[in-house]
Structure 1
Amino acid sequence: MEDVLVRRAAQLLGSARRVVVFTGAGISAESGVPTFRDDLTGLWARFDAARLATAEAFHADPDLVWGWYEWRRARVSRAQPNPGHLAIAAIGSRAVDSTVITQNVDDLHERAGTRGAIHLHGSLFTPRCVAAAGHPATFEDPSDGPAAQPDEGRRIPPPRCASCAALVRPGVVWFGEALPETALTGAVEAATACDVLLAVGTSGVVYPAAEIPRIAARSGATVIQVNPQPTPLDTVAAINLRGPAAEILPALVAAAWEETDG
């Protein structure tokens, strides 16, 4: 039965003119990147993730919050894209028009070769200044940037913006903050216009991002879900493929373009 579903999904993917790939924490977890709440281990385990991920926490104790995010960024830097990420990049090179929308704050899609991924929740690799409406930050010292490898539990003073000397904050969306307007608008437009949306490794419960597959379905697109476990998107998806993205996506992409290539 699974082979039949993969073949049907491959036919739909290979014939689609506009494809959206919508990814969540599951695909990054397959590369060893802990989920947000699982990224509190060792010396960080005494903290509540939700209390570290707010603007209030940053302004109350910027060294603590910056230290945690630098530690997370260092861990992501050591992770490698898995075959699922590479398959998604291959979709971008084969589909007529494709867009990757991700809830993840890592850079694994980019390192796999995807260009122009929409990061709904921001990125660990795009820190920004707290002043001037959050313009992108620059660093006076490269060791303060993403290449730093801080020790677990280390408090690190945030760098100052080289342009205006204001504090630099992590470039992620914190609790209580709205999603970036440009990213959300781009995601909604892509979901509304696509023929096929692949939902990969997402729980389907974190809003407003979880609305993206539902927007695609309401707009007439076929939603294909790739996930090892059932999710609330099961009823939205026309096809549910159970299993790891690193196994299913390469097979799906190969079958999609083998069929269209004849």
Structure 2
Amino acid sequence: MSLTPTVARAIELLRQAKTVVALTGAGISTPSGIPDYRSPDSGLWEQGDMMEMASIYAFRHKPEAFYKWIRPLATKIFNAQPNPAHKALASLEANGRLQAIITQNIDMLHTRAGSQTVYEVHGSLRRATCLTCHTEVDGPPLLKAHAETGQLPHCPTCAHILKPNVILFGELLPMLTMHLAQQAAKQCDVMLVAGSSLEVAPAGDLPLLAKRAGARLIIVNFGPTHVDREADLLFREDVAELLPQLAAPFRK
């Protein structure tokens, strides 16, 4: 397959870099059937007031509303499979071209695709915690049971409702994870943004952090971002089609 000059240039940037970091958003998982937050008619923000359903205040006062909102999303996440974009990033890491993934996604598809160093800055469904007694448990079995039956997951220690370890509106991001993500952004030679509108801070500001530290910036996203003018290479293409092209030359 012949490559366009822009794709060939992106591959050359990846080849020359000592440290490559990827930043991914909801757009990398839409090919796996997981809706993003902003697309008309299908985005999660189209389904009601997010502050009424996905804030920590709302969870503490009306956890039923949160679980009603997240139930169809959790079902899609647990039924989803990593797509070619996830697998391409895992391949780049396995072949020594990618050092870390910073993701805004909670779906765990990067780790399921085989990626090892993944900073989940918005948390994930991997674990769940009781806000009353702080017991932490494995998340998927409880959330899968909720997706199937609608019954709320309760703490095995004190019987209060468990909260998935995802970051809701009004919560602080995980400090250590965010610190590691910022350090990775500062230290990389190339940052590859894939499927993120970059509208949610502070993760959306990491490309500028990388750029100011001297990194080259490659953006792959259907829609515009506030960092487009800073990009060395900009692709308005499907991540599931383009990322495998970028990864192919490095497969051993």
- TM-score greater than 0.5 by the shorter chain: yes
By how many angstroms is 1:253 displaced? 1.2
2:36 maps to 1:35: yes
Query: What amino acid is aligned across from residue 136 of structure 1 in structure 2?
Result: E
CA displacement at 1:98 relative to structure 2: 0.6
Structure having greater relative contact order (Cα 8 Å, sep ≥ 6):
1
Cα distance change of structure 1 residues 5 and 90 upon mapping to structure 2, 3 Å threshold: same
Aligned residue in 2 for 1:10: 11
Q: Offset at 1:131?
A: 3.8
Task: Tell me the CA shift for residue 66 of structure 1.
Answer: 2.6
Report the count of equivalent residues. Answer: 246
Paired position in structure 2 for 1:90: 91
Name 2:162's counterpart in structure 1: 168
- The corresponding residue for 1:217 is 211
Match of 1:180 among 170, 174, 179: 174
Task: For residues 113-161 of structure 1, give each alpha carbon's deviation from its aligned partner in whole angstroms, at most 9, with x where no partner exists.
Answer: 11231111111232222146x563357xx8534455336xx5x33311x
Counterpart mapping for 1:14-93 below 5 A: 14-36=15-37, 38-39=43-44, 45=47, 47-93=48-94
Give deviations 1:7-53, integer Å, cap 9, x for gaps: 11101112222110100111111211012362378xxx4x4233101
The aligned counterpart of 1:232 is 226
Give how far 1:218 is off: 0.6
SS of corresponding position for 1:20: strand
Instruction: Name the amino acid aligned to 2:236.
Output: R
The offset of 1:163, in angstroms, is: 4.5
Contact 1:101 1:119 in 2 (8 A): yes
Which one has a larger percent strand, Structure 1 or Structure 2?
2
Distance in 2 (CA, whole Å) between partners of 1:184 and 1:252 is 27
Kept in 2: contact 1:86–1:112 (CA 8 A): yes
CA distance in 1, matches of 2:223, 2:68: 33
* Cα distance in 1, alignment partners of residues 31 and 239 from structure 2: 8
Give 1:164 shift. 5.2
1:136 aligns to what?
A: 136
Structure 1 consecutive aligned stretches of length 4 or more whose deviation exceeds 6 Å? none
Residue of structure 2 in register with 1:205 after alignment: 199
1:180 Cα deviation (Å)?
A: 0.8
Q: 1:12 aligns to what SS in structure 2?
A: helix
* CA 126–168 in structure 1, closer or farther in 2 if over 3 Å, else same: same
Conserved in 2, the CA contact under 8 Å of 1:87 and 1:253? yes
TM-fit CA distance, 1:170: 1.9
1:190 matched to 2:184? The reply is yes
Unaligned runs of 5+ in 1: none
1:159 alignment partner, one of 140, 154, 157: 154
Q: Which moved more, 1:241-250 or 1:225-234?
A: 225-234
Q: Using the alignment, how far apart are the partners of 1:167 and 1:96 within structure 2?
A: 42
TM-score (norm 1): 0.85
Query: In the alignment, is residue 254 of structure 1 matched against residue 252 of structure 2?
Result: no
Q: Secondary structure at the match of 1:230?
A: coil
Q: CA RMSD for the aligned pairs?
A: 2.4
Cross-structure match for 1:150: 148
Letter paired with 2:154: P
Say which SS state the counterpart of residue 178 (structure 1) adopts: coil
Q: CA deviation at 1:111?
A: 1.4
Distance 1:138 1:81, change over 3 A: closer
For 1:36 and 1:150, the matched residues in 2 are separated by: 23
Offset at residue 3 of structure 1 (A): 1.0
Q: Secondary structure at the match of 2:147?
A: coil
